[in-house]
Structure 1
Amino acid sequence: MRNSFDWTPYRRSTVGFDRLFDFLETGASSAENYPPFDIEKIAEDHFRITVAVAGFKSDEIDITAQQNMLTVSGRKAPVAEGEERKLLYSGIATRAFERRFQLADFVRVERADLADGLLTIDLVREVPEAMKPHKIAIGSSAAPVIEDKKAA
């Protein structure tokens, strides 16, 4: 099923996640929406991904950054013998997950923290000096005037 929503107006306001809308247009499956996440712009070149990972400990979550792909995966540790729980109702999802985020060029992971069931991943876009725009001074097309010191 093709998504008929026009993402063009939103493309202008994204920096650092240039490929995000390409991903959405190519038919990102809405069936896989676990765990939920937010993407926010903190500053001009600073972004934050917040993933809701309630019930997971930091040693059960793996974050991998490779080229332009950030992968967040989680797998609950098996319950040890003698620690069996008798749940009357289980509403906290503990299934394994893997979330992939396409990152724009020159975006790197600065740090990741887990607190209150939320995994926050801070991203920074660092464009190399050679890739940044530079001002070019405009010179005069007239030949330079060279004074002859001997004539004076």
Structure 2
Amino acid sequence: MRTVDFSPLFRSAIGFDRIFDLAEAAQRVGEESYPPYNIERLDENRFQISVALAGFRPDEVDLTVEQNVLTLEGRKGDKEGRTFLHHGISTRSFKRQFTLADHVEVRGARSEDGLLVIDLQREIPEAKKPRRITIGGSSQGNLTQIESEAA
């Protein structure tokens, strides 16, 4: 048995539960490696996931986002009537999930050169951006937006 149960630690680790999620995900490395993919940072707030989907048409792939989880599923149609002398291109069904950080949205997806390219954008809402709070002598505080880039 190679799994570690982190659930007792969740009670005493307020705010650090994401660390345990990452540790559990690290245990699963190597379990599923198909299809291969790259995650690239284009700039401070833009990212791109490229997934190698050789042999799959766009209508055989489903891409959904639900509660910060991007799910990519592929189902290849039947190969009836086809005889392969060598079958080296993997066309098995798959399901791959990516956990998106808070405020990261999928901007679009396109198929180019055998890759599915998924564009992601991080947009922090104004209410979540850092604000400067001026300290005054009265009971009323003034809030102003900090002039800087988003964290």
Structure 2 equivalent of residue 93 of structure 1: 90
Q: Which amino acid in structure 1 is aligned with residue 87 of structure 2?
A: S
- Are 1:73 and 2:70 an aligned pair? no
Identity of aligned residues (%): 49
Structure 2 equivalent of residue 148 of structure 1: none
Structure 1 equivalent of residue 64 of structure 2: 64
Per the alignment, in what secondary structure is the counterpart of residue 63 of structure 1?
strand
Equivalent runs, 1:2-151 vs 2, <5 Å: 23-26=21-24, 27-79=27-79, 84-137=81-134, 139=136, 141=137
Residue 59 of structure 1, CA deviation: 0.2
2:58 & 2:20 partners in 1: Cα distance?
Answer: 31
Task: Give the 4+ runs in structure 1 shifted more than 2 A.
Answer: 21-24, 135-139
**Structure 1 unaligned blocks of 5 or more:** 4-18, 142-152
Q: Which amino acid in structure 1 is aligned with residue 95 of structure 2?
A: E
Residue 29 of structure 1, CA deviation: 3.8
Q: Which amino acid in structure 2 is aligned with residue 95 of structure 1?
A: R
Q: Which amino acid in structure 2 is aligned with residue 25 of structure 1?
A: A
Q: Which amino acid in structure 2 is aligned with residue 85 of structure 1?
A: R
Residue 28 of structure 1, CA deviation: 1.8
The number of residues matched between the two structures is 122
Larger radius of gyration: 1
Q: Which amino acid in structure 2 is aligned with residue 134 of structure 1?
A: R
More RCO (CA 8 Å, sep 6+)? 1
TM superposition score normalised by structure 2: 0.72
1:31 & 1:91 partners in 2: Cα distance?
Answer: 21
TM superposition score normalised by structure 1: 0.72
Per the alignment, in what secondary structure is the counterpart of residue 50 of structure 1?
strand
**Structure 2 unaligned blocks of 5 or more:** 5-17, 138-151
